[in-house]
Amino acid sequence: MSSSSRIVGRTLARCQALQLLFQAEACGRSVADVLAGDYVLSEGPLDEYGERLARGTDEHRAELDHVLSGAARNWSISRMSATDRNLLRVALYEILFEDDVDKAVSIDECVELAKAFGSSDESSRFVNGVLGRVAADIDNGVDVIEAARKNYEDSAAELASAAYGDEDDCEYAPEEGFAPEHEDFCYGDYETSDAPEWAREGE
């Protein structure tokens, strides 16, 4: 897959989505903003499915990152290379939100793109392992988004407890329902506060 002329169909669409997400992250903008201005594709024109993947992945990025964080095992999102984490986001979005694509197809495509564009020779094994764990949870009936939400809430509660102590022991304990307003994600040389919507609303 060293030549872009060999990338066709939905594989090309996924590659384009990866490039759009990479550019959006690098300049701290949304995919919608990138698409509204000048953007670069190794091969065009922009495929309709590629645009749908890029927009959808960007819109659900916080949820996807929480799911990936739980499956990555000792690898925070910020420690991943920009290419690897955006490949994972695209594949996970496809698995969770595109009903007409089989999980195995999404994983295989991500692995092949990681072989071509990943940050190292280990990228393909890494993304295969992370996505394989997510797929196994789904096959076992786990609602991975809900599980990620629960993990986020538990982590927020632990942070609050560590900062303020137990309510019974502290005169100035926080009010019920207290949680940090956002979680900071670090991408390269810049940071964004991008908690999932359900966390911001305290649902």
Task: Give me the pLDDT at residue 149, please.
Answer: 83
For residue 153, pLDDT over 90 is answered with no
- In this predicted structure, what is the pLDDT of residue 44? 82
Residue pair 124/114 in contact by the 8 Å Cβ criterion: yes
Long-range contacts of 189-195 (CB under 8 A, 24+ apart): 190/28, 192/28, 194/61, 194/62, 194/65, 195/62, 195/152
Token code pair at residue 53:
């993947």
44-69 mean pLDDT: 94
More confident residue, 137 or 193: 137
Is the pTM here over 0.85, yes or no? no
pLDDT at 175 over 90: no
Average pLDDT over residues 32-56: 93
* Average of per-residue pLDDT values in the chain: 79
Does the pLDDT of residue 97 top 70, yes or no? yes
